[in-house]
Amino acid sequence: MAGKFEDEMEIRALASAYADATNRRDADGMAAVMAPDGRIEKPGYGDPVQGREKILKRYRRLQRERDFLCQQIHSGVVHVAGDVATARWWFSETKLAVGSEDWLAMIGVYQDECVRLPEGWRFSRRVQTTIMERVLPGGTQVTRHELPDFFAIPGLPEL
């Protein structure tokens, strides 16, 4: 069994893998960090979603609704207690809805409950709270570029 330091690093890698999948527009990768019975909640933005397949369906819908989304994880704290853990991550996003010229900047926080499974740590519950949203001025002046072909990174969670 890994020690607390190794467990914390694996949970930090899980949060990073989620943000990376988000930025690569990889709904499967986003859902792969969730436990099979995992739950996502976004207070004020609809009902919670439970179960990896339902979560994957939601992530695919959200990707269809966004022309662009970039998420950065800024800081995090993790507490490991055996085979469960809690964590909190502050993040920011820049996004553009399909058909819109208004770029949106957002700051929020994830509060997570994690569980150790045979395949490694997974989120059993993610609560995403929006702290601030702002339409960015001059959105039509932004130059966008295509996403690159991404290098394969072994060890990322997969469905």
91: domain CATH number is 3.10.450.50
Average pLDDT over residues 148-158: 78
Asked if the structure places residue 26 within a domain, the reply is: yes
- Quick one: tokens of 12? 């930090």
Number of domains in the chain: 1
91 located within any domain: yes
Nearest to 85 by CA among 13, 15, 8, 146: 8
Burial degree of 115 (CB within 10 A; 0-12, 13-18, 19+): middle
In a domain, residue 87? The reply is: yes
Residue 93 lies in a domain: yes
Tell me the pLDDT tens digit for each residue of 34-60: 999 999 999 988 899 999 999 999 999
Q: Is residue 153 part of a domain?
A: no
Range of the domain at 101: 4-139
Asked whether residue 72 is domain-assigned, the answer is yes
113-143 confidence digits (pLDDT tens): 999 999 999 999 999 999 999 998 766 666 6
Query: Is residue 152 included in any domain, yes or no?
Result: no
* In-domain check, residue 73: yes
Look up the pTM and report it: 0.87
